[in-house]
Structure 1
């Protein structure tokens, strides 16, 4: 078992405000393929910052190649046809998806809305 999994297992019993316990393990799977210009743009514009954001801390990024199928422990609801496709998973199961990338001005607010709609994620106040 990796350190991350041990840490997440320890978090299960830690109560959050309101008495709720954090029980889910969320990830954001980026399905990509070689030669994808939109994947390259995401990698240039978003990837360096993503792990340092509230979104990246809440749903760490997992990369997957389009032709290799889902990573171990991850299931998709349906076939992935476009790259990049971002699949939000809860405990390894797909709960939401964002297909395509048209720029950082679109990506961040749509990702925040997706997280807030399907998880207990709350945007940090500035």
Structure 2
């Protein structure tokens, strides 16, 4: 009897998992977050970011959630971006969801504050969906 109940439970869990997977697939792909870093040649804070953050960015949880795109402040910018305003201060960090700006941080806050700042932008984006 115990094996029968266990089998029913496993089948029910499997069916629930498949149902959730089908629902997610029907809803379409999850929105994609990206972090746009706007930089300028000769920017000392950009160079500092390159030394302190660039080597570890992709391995950090926030880096995996929001892969990096780098652009020069003068462009060219990727097609399809919807920014609140054109950036002018470097480095600038613009969080994008499917190419639309959802948060921005201008200036480099230093190695100890960069990832908490980015986590705050991501959390704010999650809160507003």
TM-score normalised by L of structure 2: 0.73
Q: Please name the residue that 1:99 is paired with.
A: 106
Find runs of 4+ consecutive structure 1 residues off by over 4 angstroms.
Answer: 12-15
Determine if contact 1:82/1:99 at 8 Å carries over to the other structure. yes
Structure 1 regions of 5+ residues with no counterpart?
A: 1-11, 121-126
The structure-2 alpha-carbon separation of the partners of 1:13 and 1:45, relative to structure 1 and needing over 3 Å to count, comes to farther
Q: Please name the residue that 2:48 is paired with.
A: 41
Cα deviation, residue 102, structure 1: 2.9
The structure-2 alpha-carbon separation of the partners of 1:24 and 1:40, relative to structure 1 and needing over 3 Å to count, comes to same
Structure 2 regions of 5+ residues with no counterpart?
A: 1-20
Report the count of equivalent residues: 105
Cα deviation, residue 75, structure 1: 2.4
Q: Please name the residue that 1:75 is paired with.
A: 82
Determine if contact 1:82/1:100 at 8 Å carries over to the other structure. yes
Indicate which of 57, 77, 92 corresponds to 1:50: 57
Instruction: Select the structure of larger CA radius of gyration.
Output: 2
Q: 2 CA distance for matches of 1:117 and 1:21?
A: 22
Select the structure that is richer in helix: 2
Q: Please name the residue that 1:66 is paired with.
A: 73
Give the superposed CA RMSD: 2.2
Determine if contact 1:13/1:22 at 8 Å carries over to the other structure. no
Q: Please name the residue that 1:115 is paired with.
A: 122
